[in-house]
Amino acid sequence: MVGAMAAVLWGIGAAMGTPRRARWIMIGILMAGVMFVQLALPAGHPLREATGGDIRLWLLIFAFAAVILVYRFGLSRVRRLAVKEPIAPSDPSTFSSTELDRYARHIVLREIGGPGQKALKQAKVLVIGAGGLGSPALQYLAAAGVGTIGVIDDDIVDNANLQRQVIHSDARIGDAKVFSAKTAMVEQNPFVTVRPYRRRLEASIAPELFSDYDLILDGSDNFETRYLVNEVCTRLGKPLIAAALTQWEGQISLYHPAKAGPCFACVFPQAPDPALVPSCAEAGVIGPLPGVVGAMMALEAIKHICNAGDPLLGRILIYDALYAENRVIKAKKRPDCPVCAGAPSIGTTNDQSTID
């Protein structure tokens, strides 16, 4: 009977998308109830008989489970300690032998080389959002060896995210996205520093937060945040790589008025009607699309940091996944733009978009 009840609890939790941790807690409560029955009720009581009849049986089961848990904990502990050399040298201008081997494919590229990889290690990049666009961007920035990566998001990992937000896992459903992302990034590259900020980006904190980073990547899902990010970046003279996507199409550009390029508000002076941009839940989005566009964000960031190639400054790249087409649209700075031509107040309120 106890086994059947445990199976039912686990099955209901799985059907409802409950995190594994919560399901184990429910089974633990069930086991505690069984122990209470065995201790509180007299021998021969029907309920005690139905749950095993003898507390020694349950003590044996719990002892066996404890041995397994201790073994797994000890094994994971040994794995964490089994590193070949100290992680993350204190001097950001030097590389360990492991790092040199890891970044060898970068270093042999003439556009990057040793100086470019050193610039990546010394760079500080802030990513807005750890969702569809932020997931691949964060993964590739960490893999590339960007020294300090900040990520701000107030959301938690949901079962419906896993179709496209590949930095998260089923085991981390219910966890804060920023901590889930940090776990994946550090597991892949322990030589980078990840700064998670579990909170919503607001005008009151944005200037101070942005000032500590060299480059901002905006993967947010609403126009209110996009306009706020653009205003703060423009005021501080920070380069901004912003992208958006919906259904089968994505777009990306580098906005940097300090380098004679347009700002986001030059290209999108007004937020579209919410009815024209339904949410991903309403309109859908193909799973690999955020990976493609998010990887482009990381690539543009690496190019900018290493001063390699031709950046998307003054150009908007539009990717149509359904028909496998790329289009590039030129964008110019508007002399009457209220953001980069004047001095707007931070935190302009705009209609919400629904691009994920």
- In a structure prediction context, what are the per-residue pLDDT tens digits for the chain, which is 356 residues long? 777 777 777 778 777 777 777 777 887 787 777 777 777 777 777 776 777 776 677 777 777 777 887 887 777 667 655 544 445 444 677 899 999 999 999 999 999 999 999 999 999 999 999 999 999 999 999 999 999 999 999 999 999 999 999 999 999 999 999 999 999 999 999 999 999 999 999 999 999 999 999 999 999 988 999 999 999 999 999 999 999 998 999 999 999 999 989 999 999 998 887 767 766 777 789 999 999 999 999 999 999 999 999 999 999 999 999 999 999 999 999 989 999 986 444 444 343 333 33
Alpha-carbon span 312 to 131, nearest angstrom: 23
Of the residues 81, 115, 145, the one at which a domain ends: 81
Q: Residue 105 sits in a domain of what CATH number? A: 3.40.50.720
Same structural domain, 46 and 164: no
Alpha-carbon span 353 to 279, nearest angstrom: 8
Q: Is 152 domain-assigned? A: yes
Number of domains comprising the chain: 2
Distances (CA, A) of 326 to 164, 249, 318: 21, 10, 6
Alpha-carbon span 235 to 347, nearest angstrom: 12
For residue 276, which amino acid is it?
A: L
Q: Is 177 domain-assigned? A: yes
Q: What is the DSSP string of 56-124?
A: HHHHHHHHHHHHHHHHHHHHHHHHHH--SS-SS-S-TT---HHHHHHTHHHHTSTTTHHHHHHHHHH-E
Same structural domain, 61 and 105: no
> What confidence score (pLDDT) does residue 237 get?
94
Alpha-carbon span 17 to 15, nearest angstrom: 6
Same structural domain, 7 and 36: yes
Alpha-carbon span 239 to 307, nearest angstrom: 13
Q: Is 111 domain-assigned? A: yes
Listing from the earlier edge strand, what are the strands of the sheet with 249-255?
193-197, 148-152, 124-128, 215-218, 240-246, 249-255, 315-320, 325-330
> Which residue do the tokens 């409802």 mark?
16
Q: Is 144 domain-assigned? A: yes
For residue 299, which amino acid is it?
A: L
176 phi/psi in degrees, rounded to 5: -65, 135
Pairing of strands 148-152, 193-197: parallel
Alpha-carbon span 321 to 284, nearest angstrom: 14
Same structural domain, 290 and 249: yes
32 phi/psi in degrees, rounded to 5: -65, -40
Q: Is 350 domain-assigned? A: no
> What confidence score (pLDDT) does residue 192 get?
96
Same structural domain, 319 and 242: yes
Query: 3-state DSSP call for residue 234?
Result: helix
Helix axes 177-188, 134-144, angle to 10 degrees: 30
Number of helices and strands in the chain (H, E): 14, 8
Same structural domain, 307 and 164: yes
The candidate with the shortest Cα–Cα distance to 241, out of 301, 166, 307, 302, is 301
Going by the DSSP 8-state scheme, the letter that residue 176 receives in this structure is: B
Domain extent, residue 190, equals 97-330
Same structural domain, 200 and 277: yes
Same structural domain, 119 and 246: yes
Same structural domain, 66 and 144: no
> Which residue do the tokens 């020694």 mark?
56
H or E stretch covering 232: helix 223-236
194 phi/psi in degrees, rounded to 5: -110, 130
Tokens standing for residue 114:
């040793």
Same structural domain, 311 and 200: yes
Same structural domain, 154 and 297: yes
Backbone angle region of 44, left / alpha / beta, with phi > 0 → left and psi within -120 to 50 → alpha: left
Largest CA distance in the chain: 89
